Chain A
Amino acid sequence: MSETDLLRAEFPLLAANPGLHYLDSAATAQIHRCALDAVVRHETGCRANVLRGSHRLAEAADRAYDAARTSVARFLNVASADEVVFCSGATAALNLVAHAFGATLRPGDRVLVSQAEHHSNFVPWQMLRERAGIALDLLPVTASGELDLAALPRLLSPRTRLVAVTQCSNVSGAWTDVAAVVEEAHKVGARVLLDGAQAVQHGPQDLRALGIDFYAFSGHKAFGPNGIGVLWARGDLLAGLPPFLGGGGMIDEVAIEASSWAEPPRRFEAGTPPIAQAVGLAAALEWMGGLDWPRLREREERLCADLIDGLLAVPGLRLLGPPASARRAPIVSFDIAGLHPHDVCQVLDHHGLALRGGHHCAQPLLAAFGVDACSRASLALYNDEADVAALVEGVAAAVRTLA
């Protein structure tokens, strides 16, 4: 068995569907068996609410939940597990920042986002603009969908309080030059939020090295369960923010007249958190932490380059993203002249290829590309040469079918 075959065997859905070419990991990565096992083990061994009980099950649940926070902190290489806030997903994490950090902004303050953002890092800032009277600035993209960092200095001002950008586009696959963003943003005193949703499935992160202030990602894109996400923020920053949601677990004291807040991270986790999901995510991240990422990344990059080369041989096909030679993630979006991506992906599904066709919740970026929708193949560590070959053949078949 090849290394990829062995990896696929660790993913129950892939193991049960040997003919499936799953190329939609940018939407949802498949769940690793260790994450599923951890969820089942937790739910059958120590299911109880956290923070509220003194019985043994509750204490076991507390320990498991705290350990999950530590696993996330290790995966992100951050200073403290207390900087890790669990929420329902990256969207919830980003909205949390838009509300909690947004509450510290004043009319006339500015937030800068890029045109490459997923709607989840775009719409919350538009909503904050309506709510708080801030100004929203837009960092354009280049013709290949990369952030146009040459435009960044002139878009920043002393009123810019936050630069919120993607670490990796979910459409173009372009990686952001985070160091350049951080350098320019911090020059004017702006904080930097990085949407890491697409990055985490390609290996552990080093947030201390990146020098950012906020980071968000989803568990289901990191081979973990649905319904769990993470917001990381610098401890001193979190300590100064008001809560977003109110309820149980996030208070220090509730009196008739007023309430006071718990210290972070609990301040931002109102209500019963997704406990088993956090435990499952931690298992997935611990598993990822033990892999040989330089080698896996090299293979992902080689497969991505092969895929781009194969697709570009299809007449009328246009790549929406940087060329294979660029520093890019294995997320390959394309448009075929005269064919709608829904139809293309429908035919591909018929050939056992799971791809996504649509706007990918990135309509501003698609507008920059001049298309309403596109087809997207996204590769993860369980994909191999057979997936790439099947997709290239499948696209040719789609052209024949739909022409």
Chain B
Amino acid sequence: MSEGLDLYQESIKQMAAAAHGHGQLASPDGEAKLNNPLCGDRVHMQVALQGGRIAALAHQTRGCLLCRAAASLLGARAAGLDAAAIDAATNALEALLQEQAAAPPEWPELAMFRPAHAHPSRHKCALLPFRALQAAVRKTVATQTTNSPGRTGHVRS
């Protein structure tokens, strides 16, 4: 038990400890580094894309449990998704944090972040890895579209 503080339930601690996707890709197609300048947390996200979808993902995350749990969740779940799906997941997490919206059926694990709704200063902690993945995928898609238009699939307008 977390002595009445439901933010730190076992599911979030286990997800952070699992650190799915932690590490670096040997030859990423693209990457993004995002900081939270208020606290110094940092996520370095690398992706490899195939047909506009995430074929591989790796991240180096320096942050709190919420930040590391979110990065780990992406490490476990983001493979096979395209930019639109990552945007949708990010939006769903933001709505869940800000408005206590329900987790979407395709991302039930996001529910573990619901207790953070009561702590606005922590919203960015959970969102930082999602924002980093959005940036990495967007940059990669843009680069691949410029360099080899036939290589990537869907590009979100």
Which positions in A face B, CB cutoff 8 Å? 340-343, 346-347, 350, 357-359, 363, 366, 372-373, 397, 400-402
Contact of B3 among A350, A357, A358 (CB under 8 A): A350
Q: Taking the complex as formed, is B39 at the interface, i.e. its CB lies under 8 A from any CB of chain A?
A: yes
Beyond A340-B64, A402-B13, is A350–B5 a contact (Cβ under 8 Å)? yes
| Complex: A26 Cα to B4 Cα, angstroms | 28
Contact of B122 among A342, A397, A401, A402 (CB under 8 A): A342
Are the CB atoms of B39 and A359 closer together than 8 Å? Answer: yes
Chain B residues within an 8 Å CB radius of A402:
8, 13, 65
| Complex: A347 Cα to B3 Cα, angstroms | 9
Are the CB atoms of B125 and A342 closer together than 8 Å? Answer: yes
5 more A-B contacts (CB under 8 A) besides A347-B5, A402-B13?
Answer: A341-B64, A363-B40, A373-B41, A401-B8, A402-B8
| Complex: A373 Cα to B39 Cα, angstroms | 7
Could you name 15 residue pairs across A and B whose Cβ atoms are closer than 8 Å? A342-B39, A342-B41, A342-B63, A343-B65, A346-B5, A346-B119, A347-B2, A350-B4, A359-B40, A372-B41, A372-B42, A372-B62, A373-B40, A373-B41, A402-B8
Q: How many residues of B contact A (CB 8 A)?
A: 20
| Complex: A81 Cα to B100 Cα, angstroms | 54
| Complex: A175 Cα to B155 Cα, angstroms | 57
Chain B residues within an 8 Å CB radius of A347:
2-3, 5, 8
Chain A residues within an 8 Å CB radius of B38:
358
Chain B residues within an 8 Å CB radius of A397:
3
**Which single residue of chain A is at the shortest CB-CB distance from B2?**
A401
Rounded to whole Å, the gap between the CB of B80 and the closest CB of chain A is 30
Q: Taking the complex as formed, is B86 at the interface, i.e. its CB lies under 8 A from any CB of chain A?
A: no
| Complex: A359 Cα to B122 Cα, angstroms | 15
Chain A residues within an 8 Å CB radius of B13:
402
**Which single residue of chain A is at the shortest CB-CB distance from B36?**
A358
Q: Taking the complex as formed, is B15 at the interface, i.e. its CB lies under 8 A from any CB of chain A?
A: no
| Complex: A82 Cα to B12 Cα, angstroms | 58
Residues of B63-87 at the interface with A, using a CB-CB cut-off of 8 Å, are: 63-66
Are the CB atoms of B3 and A342 closer together than 8 Å? Answer: no
The 4 closest A-B pairs by CB, nearest first: A342-B64, A340-B64, A359-B40, A358-B39
Q: Taking the complex as formed, is B89 at the interface, i.e. its CB lies under 8 A from any CB of chain A?
A: no
Q: Taking the complex as formed, is B7 at the interface, i.e. its CB lies under 8 A from any CB of chain A?
A: yes
Chain B residues within an 8 Å CB radius of A372:
40-42, 62
Rounded to whole Å, the gap between the CB of A170 and the closest CB of chain B is 15
| Complex: A400 Cα to B3 Cα, angstroms | 9
| Complex: A90 Cα to B122 Cα, angstroms | 28
